[in-house]
Amino acid sequence: MDAPTDRGPAGGTPTFEPLRPASSGRRAAVLIAGPLLWVAALIAVAFALKYGEVVQLALGIVVVSFLVAIAVLIPVRARRVREEADS
């Protein structure tokens, strides 16, 4: 006997449904804490090595990567919300 499968719309690919959605407070905390932890780690390493220029470069890289992530994730989320509203 075949194992039951949870297929998406029209029998397509399986859909992911979390057991419990994360609260908005938890999502905001992760969104803020993640980049801040990277910055703190980079600053600690740079000060340990006493390279101020490395701190500036690292902060620049963090800011650019954060902006790229936001630029990519906002349209993806908007599309997902639109698709969920249509179904």
Q: Is residue 11 part of a domain?
A: no
Residues 54, 43 contacting (CB under 8 angstroms): no
Q: Which contiguous run of DSSP H or E holds residue 82?
A: helix 52-86
> Residue-wise pLDDT tens for the chain (87 aa)?
445 555 555 666 778 777 888 788 888 888 888 888 988 888 887 777 776 777 788 888 888 998 998 999 899 888 888 888 887
Residues 59, 42 contacting (CB under 8 angstroms): yes
**pLDDT of res. 7:** 55
Provide the number of structural domains found in the chain. Answer: 1
Q: Is residue 70 part of a domain?
A: yes
In this structure, which amino acid lies at residue 50?
A: K
Q: Is residue 32 part of a domain?
A: yes
Q: Is residue 72 part of a domain?
A: yes
**pLDDT of res. 50:** 74
**pLDDT of res. 10:** 61
Q: Is residue 65 part of a domain?
A: yes
Q: Is residue 61 part of a domain?
A: yes
23-27: long-range contacts, CB 8 A cutoff, minimum separation 24: none
Please indicate, yes or no, whether the overall pTM of this predicted structure exceeds 0.75.
Answer: no
43: nearest Cα among 60, 27, 18: 60
Q: Is residue 17 part of a domain?
A: no
- Structural domain that includes position 73: 25-86
